[in-house]
A and B are shown apart, each in its own frame.
Chain A
């Protein structure tokens, strides 16, 4: 079943040419064939159902949850995250805000709602993933505009920047190792430059995303956790200060861009 050598040489030559033109050009044909059919549409529906389902000891829905624009306002809420909330006096990302609403409004147990925020191998989506996907879709087309008025929000940005460049672990990797240059790729995957507006806007604006290799929608919280796994660091926790700080750094760099999530990724 071996193909002639000529074809391999042509493929290699074509790949080199594609590299010069655009680093992710090698997959253009693949993405064309994939079309725009994004299975995240199912997860959007599931997220809305979770929002409207009465749960917990209080047997209420999340409809009174305040995502920053007032109780129950979901349209355009996601693009303002991460943001400071007066009721917790803390900067929160969407995931930790949802956990807050589940525990305070629905009266659910903190340990159980945070036990498994992200799908493991063999799972088919979690409540947090579905809610985040629906809420991102509720901001589709909106301008990314994270709040930076409060001093704690600006402190989070500064902290996020420090963590972004922090090199550690046996491989000396930081976020910056892969994400401070443009037009680079790891193996064949294009790497966004998250220190630039363009790179950050493209990236922040397309997560959560349906990850076709996993058959799941993944959130930004998961994306960061999996980056650190590959950085050989310990495991980043959902709703942790480092996670929210890095998200603030990305979101502020992305400000002015357009929210297109849920995206469709390899």
Chain B
């Protein structure tokens, strides 16, 4: 493991970030046109509203493997993994994770350039037992897979 750390906003940090954006701008438009943050989807307070902000109604697709625990020890940290079989569902350029009952259902969205496996692992907060969705965008179409995760009370319930 290697650690580097930066504190607060450094001029160097901003310059680097600008360089990344510039580098990204040179990539194929299919991927990096999507680089802007999907603000409307993040601001949505209901699942259907968030889905609509991401695009058309997603179709269930078996090429998406969505792994979440059946039962989570605590809703503050729920591990999720989204993996897409590129033969079953090619050209995925974006993957989003949504949590049905959260105040803002969209938790995270990932832009994925060609050459990157569609494989994302992260951990999200899940306010209460509900369904989680993984949505993949390929060639402008949305596809999805869903899983229910039960969230339990900790300790003495307090």
Contact = CB atoms under 8 A, between A and B. Distances in A.
Q: Direct contact between A and B in the complex (CB less than 8 angstroms)?
A: yes
Interface string B122-137: 0100000011000000
A187 B71 CA distance: 13
B158 A212 contact: no
A30 B69 contact: yes
B158 A230 contact: yes
A105 to B, nearest CB: 27
In this complex, the interface size class of chain A, counting residues with CB under 8 Å from chain B, is 20 to 34
A29 B70 CA distance: 8
Interface string B67-101: 11111111011010100000000000000000010
A30 B79 contact: yes
Interface residues of B, number: 27
Given A1-B130, A41-B1, A45-B3, A26 B71 contact: yes
B154 A34 contact: no
Contact of A187 (B1, B76, B152): B152
Q: Which of B68, B70, B81, B153 has the most A CB atoms < 10 Å from its CB?
A: B70
B155 interface: yes
B157 interface: yes
Contact of A33 (B69, B130, B155): B69
Contacts of B71: 11, 26-27, 29-30, 188
Given A1-B130, A30-B73, A215-B76, 19 more contacts: A1-B100, A1-B131, A11-B70, A11-B71, A27-B71, A29-B70, A29-B71, A30-B69, A30-B72, A33-B81, A34-B77, A34-B79, A187-B153, A187-B156, A189-B73, A213-B74, A213-B77, A215-B77, A266-B73
